[in-house]
A and B are shown apart, each in its own frame.
Chain A
Amino acid sequence: MWKGGGRMKSECSSVSKLLDKYFDQEVTPEERSLVEGHLPDCSACRMALDSMQNLRILIKNPVEEAVGKENFPWVWEKIEKGIQRKERLGLWDFLKSWLDVTPLLKRKILIPAVAAAVILILITAPLLYKKISSYPVQSVVEYVESETYNVMVYELETPQVTVIWLFEGLEEESSTS
């Protein structure tokens, strides 16, 4: 009796593990025959199987009812609108989504690109600024200094001529004489 009770207990625990699969009809023929051979003798396993069936009925009926009431064309229309909205992404959103594909790609491209652009701007900006600001509309002679001569600067556009003419002063005359 004790021996039979022990065998019954171990069979029950192994069958109870199979009950879910049996209920979903996913058992092998051997497992099926084991479960069906055990059920007539085990009220606990029968009750467990009954509760599974009751639960399925409880869930299935409201779901079927809801599906019957649901307006699927309307749902599909909403999905289509959502897809179209996603397709109309702006350029920045597009770039963002492209770079967000993988964080590795983002780090590999974005950071060096931004760093290179910043360095390039820092290097070229002063040079460009200097060239643009100082090149046009300047006279040929920037300055003339002389303590010895009186100086005249003459610039002509056609032909392009610039002359710095020195008129000898007293000091120069005295030093030459």
Chain B
Amino acid sequence: MRRKASFFVILVLLLSPFFGAVAFAQVQVRVRAMEASNVGSGFDSSLRDLHDQLGSLFSFSSYRLLKDETVSLSPNQSVSLSIPPERSLELTLINQHRVTAEVRVKITRGGRELLTTLVRLAPGRSVSIGGPKRGEGTIIIALSRMQ
């Protein structure tokens, strides 16, 4: 009985790093696509946490939310979502550490790769991808890791 108990304790100790890895295997990433322009003024309430970041970089007068979606990323599994205008965004969790998650981001249009990048997402630090034009405005995609 005593021998069995000690064997169990040793087994748990040996496997504990793997339990930890499994517990942190999924990463939640919030994807927000917005149209920034100088036509009119206004700041969408769902973008309030990005106000300082966007304001310190750009001089647009209006930020309008087009899409707000949170996706769960599992290691090496891709998640795709459509982003206006007619683009597709593919996110893949490549690696993760205690705080940061390495995510590969692919933007495609009609199956054609427009951009591939590998970013490290950490809570409290968002990564924005912007530039494509849409009418009078510019599309900005903000990626942030949820706590």
Q: Which residues of A contact B (CB under 8 A)?
A: 112, 116, 119-120, 123-124, 127, 131, 134-135, 138-149, 151, 154, 156, 159-168, 172
Contact = CB atoms under 8 A, between A and B. Distances in A.
Interface stretch (B25-33, B40-48, B71-79, B114-122): B114-122
A140 B130 contact: no
A50 B57 CA distance: 122
Contacts of A162: 119, 125-128
B4 interface: no
A142 B119 contact: yes
Contact of B131 (A120, A147, A156, A168): A168
Main SS of chain B's interface residues? strand
A141 B124 contact: no
B67 interface: no
B15 to A, nearest CB: 9
Interface of B: 10, 13-14, 17, 21, 52-53, 56-57, 97-100, 102, 112-120, 122, 124-133
The 8 closest A-B pairs by CB, nearest first: A166-B131, A142-B118, A160-B125, A144-B117, A161-B53, A146-B115, A145-B116, A162-B127
B14 A123 contact: yes
B105 to A, nearest CB: 9
B119 A140 contact: yes
Nearest to B106: A145
A129 B126 CA distance: 27
